Amino acid sequence: MFKQEVIKLIKNQLKSVDAESLLEIPPKKELGDYSFPCFSLAKELKKNPNDIAKELTKKIKPTPLIKQIQQVGPYINFFINPTKIAETTITEALKKKGSYGATNEGKGKTVVIDFSSPNIAKPFGIAHLRSTAIGNSISKIYQHLGYNCIGINHLGDWGTQFGKLIVAYKKWGDQKTLEKDPIRHLFNLYVKFHEEAKQKPELEDEAREWFKKIELKDKEAQKLWKKFSELSLKEFKKIYSLMNIKFDEYTGESFYAPLWEEAVKEAEKKGITEISDEALIVNLEKYSLPPCILRKKDGSTLYATRDIAAAKYRYQKYRFYKMIYVVDHRQSLHFQQLFKVLELMGYEWAKNCEHVPFGLMRFPEGTMSTRKGKIIFFEEVIEKAKQLVKEVINKKNPQLKNKEEVAEAVALGAIIFWDLSNDRMRNISFDWEKVLDFEGETGPYVQYTYARADSIIRKANEKLDPQKINFEKLTRIEELNLIKTLAGFTEAVKEAKNHNKPSIIARYLLDLAQNFNEFYHKCPCISEKDEEIRRARISLVEAAKQGMEIALSLLGIKALPEM
RNA sequence: GGGCGCGUCGCGCAGCCUGGAUAGCGCAACAGCCUUCUAAUCUGUGGGUCGAGGGUUCAAAUCCCCCCGGGCCCGCCA
């Protein structure tokens, strides 16, 4: 609304100019809220930009929304009316509460999000955090903009790794250990298999045979496969419930098994396939892509085939507006091929499928690898973080009541924020120091800031009626900065959605928290004597609290009243 | 060989899509502020050839080309 006003003011002087795209935000707040650079007009008007700015500034008159217009060199800087922005922003936050910053752009549109999708029978390592946290956050972001989101956990519950596990279990496994600590036992077996297989490659053949038996519905093989799957899934669900993440479907690869053959036949019927080295492929040379293999020479299907079947099924079921795959960037080529094949099969909706890739989590010295045993269990990270949080609590807030609960939420907040605060395309190096850092740009920092705000609201115990607040009293620079940051919330959510980047929300939240803390130190609320100032500030705290709470929830992090 | 993404203070990052005013933030270092709403905070100081080189432009960390470093992917694994 303020921006529109500025654009109008410029257009009034220069009808033909594209004020909207030229308008920018000055690098420093002291310079104003919006800025119009006059360089592009220089050629046309045959004058130097400074003079153009000078003349225009004289002609443009302030309005109720735009308080001041100032020329600095070749720029015309606009200052918005602080009282107006305080009033609109705070009133909206108080009124909309949990839906502050929300829009209805997604009304009636369904977005399917495939995320987390761990491999069954392998432990949930810290590396799995990436897809899980990013996907969950993207889902929340879309939901805040009114989209109907369907979260699908496409479990990796099919493939030769099960053959390997069965071989290992039969050779070295133990039922009791399996029941007691299934994931760890299976993990040990998996690692041992790969160690042994180095010496005895025939184990790999045995594994393939056992997998074949699963496919052929051999009783023993199926029984073990089901057992491994169930035990793993139970463990995974523990972690999801800890993180408060819900999926609409746990449909792993095997779920789509009945549809695989049909998908292959359909592709053949549509004439896009050919035989190459006895395998059935879709040649994608025309599109500068390597061929996509649909069926191996032994007749069995592959990852790509299964994804085709899954995509079709999902479209039939949800008629999605968009489908997002949150999968690491190593699979970029796979998804390019998948989407191309779907398109060649004649599916209009193929263009609404999107791969949202992310960088790998690695050790400083190299890649993580389940088969080499070089991973870190997610639960181990949580436990360690929790311990450390408890120490901090005992030092800083020993009388806190529900310490266990708070410690868990703060630990999770630290871990999730550590992941989400960086651009997803970057590789993340796993570093205990970084994960367990609770100061500076971290999860605990933003959670702490929220707790501060909540504490003020609790203690103030004030009924806030926007009608009765005198927004003119908010004149300090810290107050205005906080208000302006708060006003940018919807923009941040939209941007995060457009780029599928939770990091944009994380960065916004840091900015908001920083602005809040500066305000907190300079502007007393409860102890403020002036009744009007006091009330205005508390209403601002309430609005900021609202903003932080929502931003945290969009990242999948709990907002705590105390910590 | 082809392709994808990354390279910004000692370290970790933001900014790049949509080019503009002295390149921001956090950690670490140093110096300050706790009888006032939680000091997991805040204030200040020092620290940068934006990987290198070309090009486009009035203007390039940002766009284009080329090179370098390290990460990843390229038919029967997922």
Alpha carbons A514 and A478: distance in angstroms, whole number: 10
Q: What's the CA A130/C1' B23 distance, rounded, in angstroms? A: 30
State, as a whole number of angstroms, the distance between the CA of A21 and the C1' of B19: 12
3-state secondary structure of A422: coil
Q: Is A53 exposed, middle or buried (0-12, 13-18, 19+ CB in 10 A)?
A: buried
- For A18-48, b where at least 16 C-beta lie within 10 A, e where not — what string? ebeebbeeeeeeebbbbbbebeebeeeeeee
Query: Which positions on chain B have an atom < 7 Å from some protein CB?
Result: 2, 4-6, 12-15, 17-18, 20-28, 36-43, 58-59, 71-78
Residue A557, CB, less than 7 Å from strand B?
no
Q: Which of residues 456-475 of A touch strand B (CB under 7 A)?
A: 456, 459
Nearest nucleotide to the CA of A359, by C1', is B5
SS (H, E, C) A312-346: HHHHHHHCCCEEEEECCHHHHHHHHHHHHHHHHCC
Closest to A248 in 3D by CA, of A139, A103, A358? A139
What gap in Å lies between CA A303 and CA A252, rounded to an integer? Answer: 12
> Which whole-number Å values give the CA distances from A529 to A241, A426, A455, A523, in the listed order?
46, 49, 19, 12
Hits for CB < 7 Å against strand B across A residues 87-146: 119
DSSP A359: P
Question: What distance in Å separates the CA atoms of residue A248 and residue A312, rounded to the nearest whole number?
Answer: 17
Q: Is the CB of A76 under 7 A from strand B?
A: no
Sheet of A66-72, strand order = A34-37, A75-80, A66-72
Q: Nearest nt to A31, CA vs C1'?
A: B21
Backbone angles phi, psi at A197, to 5 degrees: -65, -20
* Half-sphere CA count of A108, side-chain side, radius 13 A: 0
Domain segments of chain A: what residues? 2-80, 159-244, 414-555
A527 CA to B35 C1' in angstroms comes to 15
- pLDDT by 10s per residue, chain A, length 563: 899 999 999 989 888 888 888 899 999 888 999 999 999 888 778 888 999 999 999 999 999 999 999 999 999 999 999 999 999 999 999 999 999 999 999 999 999 999 999 998 789 999 999 999 999 999 999 999 999 999 999 999 988 889 999 999 999 999 999 988 888 899 999 999 998 988 888 888 899 889 889 888 899 999 999 999 999 999 999 999 999 999 999 999 999 999 999 999 999 999 999 999 999 999 999 999 999 999 999 888 899 999 999 999 999 999 999 999 999 999 999 999 999 999 999 999 999 999 999 999 999 888 999 989 999 999 999 999 999 999 999 999 999 999 999 999 999 999 999 999 999 999 999 999 999 999 999 999 999 999 999 999 999 988 889 889 999 999 999 999 999 999 999 999 999 999 999 999 999 999 999 999 999 999 999 999 999 999 999 999 999 999 999 999 999 999 999 99
What pLDDT is attached to residue A161?
A: 86
Quick check: A46 and A59 in contact, CB under 8 A?
A: no
The whole-angstrom separation of Cα A42 and Cα A38 is 7
- CB-strand contact A418/B, under 7 Å: no
Nearest residue to nucleotide B15, by CA–C1' distance, is A27
Contact A282, A267 (CB under 8 A): yes
- Structure tokens of A507? 């960065």
**CA A557, CA A550: separation in Å to the nearest integer?**
10
C1' (B63) to CA (A341) span, angstroms: 33
Number of residues assigned to chain A: 563
Check if residue A401 sits with its Cβ under 7 angstroms from strand B. Answer: no
Which among A67, A100, A91 is positioned nearest to A536, based on CA atoms?
A91
Q: Are strands A366-367 and A361-363 parallel, antiparallel or unpaired?
A: antiparallel
For tokens 């995974």, the residue is A236
Query: Which residues, 6 or more positions from A358, have their beta carbon under 8 angstroms from its beta carbon?
Result: A130, A131, A134, A326, A328, A329, A424, A425
Closest CA to A166 of A232, A117, A121: A121
Cα–Cα distance measured from residue A466 to residue A88, given in angstroms and rounded to the nearest whole number: 10
Is the Cβ–Cβ distance between A107 and A145 less than 8 Å? no
Question: Residues of A from 324 to 343 whose C-beta is within 7 A of strand B: which are they?
Answer: 329-334
C-alpha span between A190 and A168 (Å, rounded): 7
Per-residue pLDDT at A160: 83
Question: What is the C-alpha to C-alpha distance for residues A254 and A140, in angstroms, rounded to an integer?
Answer: 28
Instruction: Round to whole Å and give the CA distance between A39 and A49.
Output: 5
3-state secondary structure A61-121: CCCCCEEEEEEECCEEEEEECHHHHHHHHHHHHHHHHHHCCCCCCCCCCEEEEECCCCECC
Q: Stated in angstroms, how far is A368 CA from B71 C1'?
A: 13
pLDDT of residue A48: 86
CATH 1.10.3720.10 fits domain A414-555: no
Predicted local distance difference test score (pLDDT) of residue A481 = 95
Give chain A residues 156-195 with Cβ within 7 A of strand B.
Answer: 156, 158-161
Which run of H or E residues covers position A281? strand A279-282
Q: Do A2-80 and A414-555 come out as alike in CATH topology?
A: no
Count helices and strands (H / E) in chain A: 22, 13
Q: Is the CATH number 2.40.50.140 carried by domain A2-80?
A: no
Q: Output the pTM of the full model.
A: 0.96
Alpha carbon dihedral A166, A128, A339, A284, in 10-degree steps, equals -60
